Structure 1
Amino acid sequence: MVTVCALAVVSLHRLGQASQAILQENYRSILAAQNMIEAIERQDSATLLLLLGHNSEGQKQFQEYEVEFLKWLGRAHDNITIAGEGQLVKTIEAKYQDYLTAFSQLREWRLTPAPNLSTDYYRQTMQPQFQAVRERCIELRRLNQQIMEAASIRAESVSTRAIGSMLLTSTAAVGSGLAFSLLLSTFLVRPLREMSRASDRIAEGDYDVVLSIRSNDELGNLASKIVTMSRKLQEFHQLNVGKLMAEKQRSEAIISSIADGIIVVDAHSQIIAINPSAARIFHTSPQLAQGRSFVDVFDHQELYESITITAQTGETPYLSEEQSILSMSDDNPRQYYKFSITPVKTEDDQMLGVVLLLQNVTQLKELEQLKTQFVMTASHELRTPLTGISMSIELLMESAQEKLSPTQQELLKAAQEDVQRLRMLVNDLLDLGKIESGRMEMDVDAVSLGGLLEKAIALFSRQAQEKGVKLTSSLPENVPDVRADANKIIWVLTNLIANALRYTDTGGHIHLTLRRLGDYACVLVTDDGPGIPLDYQPRIFDKFVQVQTPRDVGGSGLGLAICKEIVKAHGGTIWVDSTPGNGSTFTFTLPVVAASAITRTYET
């Protein structure tokens, strides 16, 4: 019996030592790690306050929790008891110093002329450093928790061996010892397990932790600290959620206050936001549209396809000026909206959704129509008097030439040239107006585009030779015919070649290329002239646009606009590629006969 008692005493003593080791060796390290986590999270909140413009409040809070963090870091240094803990504490210290250095850099960024760069610096530098320090603190806490669990397991092992020894010695003694050991084991280990489970729940984001430990010893103190920690973390989490909700409401208010229509859809074309302006355009309400598929709410297939392509590719689709105009025929009078589609991505290029912007351009359309009508009317009214003036000048030059002095003859000749220039301008305006209104007669037939290029080159070969400009072409074999009005395409070619000659200096080179591009034939007119300034390129095909150069090359500013309308009437497109100082390449396409679907008839 004495042996049983001795064994029991020894076993219970070892069990008590194991439990004591759990409390003394790891409690302080866990507490230090948890307080460092809380301090670094408060410092991150202070950094966000600084970014939001609360400099004094953010800096003060950051410094307060810097002192708190360093205090608990020192305690962690003084309580290194397990393998690997020392190196981990050194890593925390080093990374925290990097974090403090980054904060100092962030404050300097806020004082620079470009404070917006501080936000990028926070996301790219400070936030990863904050996460690194926090993860090392969590790792320190987890390491000590694992040691606690290991000590708990050892305590259970000691208890089991004690029970085995007492069973072998005496059934009665073992029975009583077993009951006592189980009671003591339960009393000591159950709270530790409960605290361990609570710590795991906190680590997973569940802060609603309640512990039933009510003792006044270190175990009870640790339980109280864990509960307090969970409540503070829950308050901090709720604070962040509140900030996010406030930001969401602020964003919704901004979108609602914008006069232009805005629709935001996700990657699956589900509407996640729509402002009242966009809802009025499509005769719906934000409440009815939000959360539904775009195609279910808005009956506009082309617009839906453009949004779908953007959501799938992450790239803004190319739309011509006409394609980017949305006409709402249900409205009286008809309304026109210019729309743009923009993809929304994360920093790592992950697709989040698409933003559709709708701008009312009805007044601009009406002004453009009025301007076109005025130009057409004025051109018609000017044609007859200009013809009369031209005939009068010619008659005067023929009948009174001998009576006129050389100076008077030069004046009449200059007047005749000015009248001729005005007549050409009037004719260009009338032609452009007819094309824009669809009233120009076009003789569409299958024609050889290569033959048209050769004819256009022949018209300018002598002029190019006299100027000292090399005019060449590349015409591949087996290029299919195109369906076009030969005279109109000749007009386009001659205008492009004339422009190239006008801007190409002596010794320069103009090259015409013909290619097959899918269902289209592609014509390129390339020169090595001075090129087109970047600010002129987006509007080079607009009416009356002339590139300002040191030398006056003349022109009405209508040639390229007419080219654009003629090519568009044939179902093709025209564009320019130019680098200032390195020449320009004008390109236009025409559908080949096999793929052409031009069956329109233009009335006079």
Structure 2
Amino acid sequence: MIRNLSLKTKILLGYIVIILITIGVALWSISNFMTLNEAIHDIMVENYRSVIAAEKMVESLERQDSAELIFIFGQKDKALDIFQENQMQFMKYLSRAEDNITIPDEEKIIKDINEGYQAYLDKFWNLRQLANENQIQKIQDYYLEESMPQFEKVKNETRKLLMVNQEHMKESQQKANNNASQAIYSTIVFSVLAVILAIVLGIYISNLIIRPTKRLTEIVKEVADGDLEQVIEIDTKDEIGELAAEFNSMTQRLREYEEMNVSKLIAEKNKSEGIVKSISSPLLVTDDENKILLINPRAEKLFKLEEEDVLGNHFLETIKEERIFSLISETLSSGSEQSGKDSRVIKFEQKNKELYFRVTTTPVKNKSGDTKLVVTLLDDITHLKEVDEMKSEFVSMVSHEFRTPLTSMNMGISMLLEGSIGEVNDNQKELLEVAKEDCERLNNLVDDLLDLSKIESGEINLEFDNIQVEKIFEASIKPFVDQAENKGVELVAEGTDNLAVHADLNKITWVITNLIGNALRYTNSGDQIKLSAEKKGHKVHISVTDTGEGIPKEYQHKIFDKFVRVGGDKDKDTGSGLGLAISKEMIEAHGGRIWVESEVGEGTRFTFTLKLPK
């Protein structure tokens, strides 16, 4: 039965058997690794991030309480700076805790923390109002009776979050240890059996192919030596059998050709020659009325149609692709080639597989310079898309691998600074503090990379709601009011006319605060930062505009790429270069887009779009 199969089928069967074996081993290993990874994930990711977030929240909260005491004793400016700095830290880690809810009890605890913390901020605001009245006794009484109890309440809830995650980590560790032992032994046994089976089947299939091939090679060598009487006797019906039959027919014709003169031989050869040209990428040609004149086989397969059925028809009658048609129309009207931009990338689905093509439309002009034809080429970039996804997965993996050693280093340095291991002198302490700052900076970079990877992979948790734009502006401006005032920069929000959007409040607030923070970095005394919102069609356009230094044009097209910093910023400690990349991914996760308009010396305007309420 196997002898009657084609060579392609035999090879395919061999590959299929090996692939099935490989898949079997892979599935078994993946099953073990997923079980193990799930347990490890519980320890190192799900709970560990919540533990770190809880510890940082407690630390920030205690520093805010200390700031209140400093405020009461009269050092108001210093106290406000400390309080606001740690307020942003607290909100940052609270947001991470919200994105990392993995235990049933966590959601309620985080909700209580959020509500309690907002109440604590309100009480601090009231304390500041009392300070303006210079009533020291009232300030002290209010702190003891209102602020301090609320502080203790929020602190206890935060510690409760810490304890819940620590207990869950202990349970997950035991589970991981058990799964690891089982996975090692079972995978070894299964892999050895699979390798043996693959070797046996591989030898068998290869012999089915190699034996007739060797026989064919021997006969060809004899014919090449001039023995045209040789006949290949191979009884298989695969491609080698067909090749043998054609070879026998060729030798028969060669024997006949020997009896022909040279002129007849050349004439016969010319009759049998032909040239076949093909283009591997989908291609079609349309005229100035958008009628299809030519379509190659690859395009027929992509669009699932036959050339004879579509020739002379309007493009949109047969190919329902508005995006391609708009490019063709643009090329006809402008007379220039349209290609190479992200917006020209179109996705198709074939046999449960996603294919990506970059569309290029090229005009064909007559002697007068008028565009009469448009050649549309779809370049397959599916592999490039897959490589980009692999790159994102690699960044995520490396970031996870950095997390554990960085945490160990940070803890070790903290213990040295605290004197837990022994006293350190001033020079040693200074070096350790520098090292700790570097560790924290790397930790922040890893956090940003993980956040970016999470957004790119679609794992970000968005809590959509209908939100007033005015509420978003208030939450975004509040952390920067004093900083802007101290710097002499006017920070204002225009009226929003009761505009609302369908979005995640925390995520959009993060985007705007990131844009305001960038604007403050590049503005000077007397400059202005303005927030505005405008409804356009079915979208709301939200803008952050400043009158600062501006962004050079050579950076504007790549400013939303990862790790990009503008000009002289490369030599400054201005961040990781991921803020705008994360902002772009967050806005796109909301179904919107973000862009920048800037002139050097005049200022910068960042604008993004959000959907209207449902």
TM value normalised by structure 1: 0.50
Larger relative contact order, structure 1 or 2 (CA cutoff 8 Å, min sep 6):
2
Q: Please tell me whether Structure 1 or Structure 2 has the larger radius of gyration of its CA atoms.
A: 1
Q: TM-score, normalised by structure 2?
A: 0.49
